Structure 1
């Protein structure tokens, strides 16, 4: 299979929390159980404070995409998190309560056009996560605006646009995309995934993403084009 065709196919279809929740839908009441959130900033670092407000002492900072335990969120826009074995606070607007980056600790196996392809994380590439397969490598990144995937030193695509919301639309390389579901359930040979996000494209493809996992399946005109068949620890 042509290397560029496979990588392009994988990128077109591919692009951690047990539920996918739109940021605006998070309850302002104290959570009965802790959740996982991800720092979501465009530049710099997120300030961590001793209390829920800018008047409280700064006790540290967090880099983009770092995961934190979120205990509760207040009505005035602050989240109580775990920080250095203590509880501290960060601005809720800079936390994303979902992530669709692939799990760096696992090896993914996809079946595409009748062939199986394994891919795994190999390191950073100018701030992006680089993944390698038998047919080449691709890079991924996630920030406050979305999930992106591309080739090293080349083009990239917007796989998901944040914040997640049914009906959300965007255009990417002349292809229009729309989120049609954020809480589906989908089964592939790799298992059953919940809170799946479904994206339909103007080119006829429908792609599916699972939280903490990333891309799990793509369908075109009722035919499965690519799907996750195995997921295991390195």
Structure 2
């Protein structure tokens, strides 16, 4: 019984000592943001000399983390130490994959595309050809590299009462093709058709 008790005491002491052991230094090599006004110290200790300070929101590069909750940073071309708990890791953002969004134009018109998602975008197209003006806003559905819009017009210009517009992305331009019912949205000599460039 005494042996079991003694083994339990040794076991609990070893756990306590292990958890109390300071964290070993490790490499950091990451960019962080300062969460508050923060003192920079000469050594990784709260009693070390203060060599400067960092403002809230400052971006710094961490070279390594030190025992006791300190991070080694570069400060004014010298090594400095700050309390790690006041640093927030910055998650790298992936580059934008939105290819439709933006302002596109031809000699006679402008096409504004916004709110792009994986399956749709909103558009506002405006053309001026002589005395004839055209305006149309809507949402186009994206599929297989093309986007299409279909809107009911009550048009008498076509058997099909729907204005249908196809947007084809061509890298540095967007090709727009309209159906005959889209005449409802502009004058007789105007058209939304064309290649729009950024």
TM-score interval, normalised by the smaller of the two chains: 0.3 to 0.5
Between the two structures, name the one with larger relative contact order (CA 8 Å, sep ≥ 6). Answer: 1
Structure having the higher Rg: 2
Larger strand share, 1 or 2: 1
- Normalised by the length of structure 1, the TM-score is 0.31
Larger helix share, 1 or 2: 2
